[in-house]
Amino acid sequence: MSDGLVTTDEAPISRDAIPISMRGPASVDIKTAFGFWLFLLSDIIVFAGFFAAYAVLVNRTAGGPIGKDLFDRTHVFIETACLLASSFTCGMTSVSSEKQSGGQTYVWALATFALGAAFVWLEVTEFAGLIDRGAGPQRSAFLSAFFALVGTHGLHVSIGLCWLVSMVGQVAILGFKPVVLRRLRCFSLFWHTLDIVWVGIFTIVYLGAR
């Protein structure tokens, strides 16, 4: 900083042109990362609440079906494989973007989208099958908690897919500018967090069904 100018990722600009929230000794990268980690922590707290509700209500079936009678673990295993594989392809997308390799970034991003979309489709078919069997969220407190927890995760994955499409568009239009790379890093953190949450769902909800 000199003569009232502040150096950013793009070019030196007037300090007065920068929002107060963006001023300070820390770099934009640090502030962005800190803010996004706060968001992820708040999201994890939301999921913790859903996990707690499920743990309390898992036996409140109101005389209806229980988890082991409803869940197709083979189907869920395929879902899990798709999402965990997408975590790898998402990591490769990040590596390719840091290398500023456009072709590789598009390929790995497309693979991530395809695997994520497959996961969402499998989850939707699972929900549809349960509802067709009369095991919808209104059937019991157990199923309400199940649909709320798993459905919220699926909604996050769907939002992540929309975000990924947006990021591919930004790479195509803006290239690998620092602001684009920061957003890609944030997306990668978000996607990997969803994978971690799903491992908890797979273990507690599906493998622990009784």
CA distances from 8 to 20, 100, 131, 150, 198 (A): 14, 20, 53, 41, 38
Q: How high is the pLDDT of residue 30?
A: 78
**Distance in angstroms (rounded) separating the CA atoms of residues 58 and 44:** 20
Q: Which two tokens stand for residue 115?
A: 């695997």
> How is 22-56 classified by DSSP, letter by letter?
G-SSS-HHHHHHHHHHHHHHHHHHHHHHHHHHHHH
Q: Domains of the chain, with CATH numbers?
A: 28-207 (1.20.120.80)
Model pLDDT for residues 143-185, shown as the tens digit of each residue: 999 999 999 999 999 999 999 999 999 999 999 998 999 999 9
Model pLDDT for residues 54-91, shown as the tens digit of each residue: 999 999 988 888 888 898 889 999 999 999 999 999 99
Check if the beta carbon of residue 197 is closer than 8 Å to that of residue 44.
Answer: yes
CA distances from 27 to 12, 22, 23, 41, 134 (A): 14, 9, 9, 21, 54
**Distance in angstroms (rounded) separating the CA atoms of residues 146 and 161:** 23
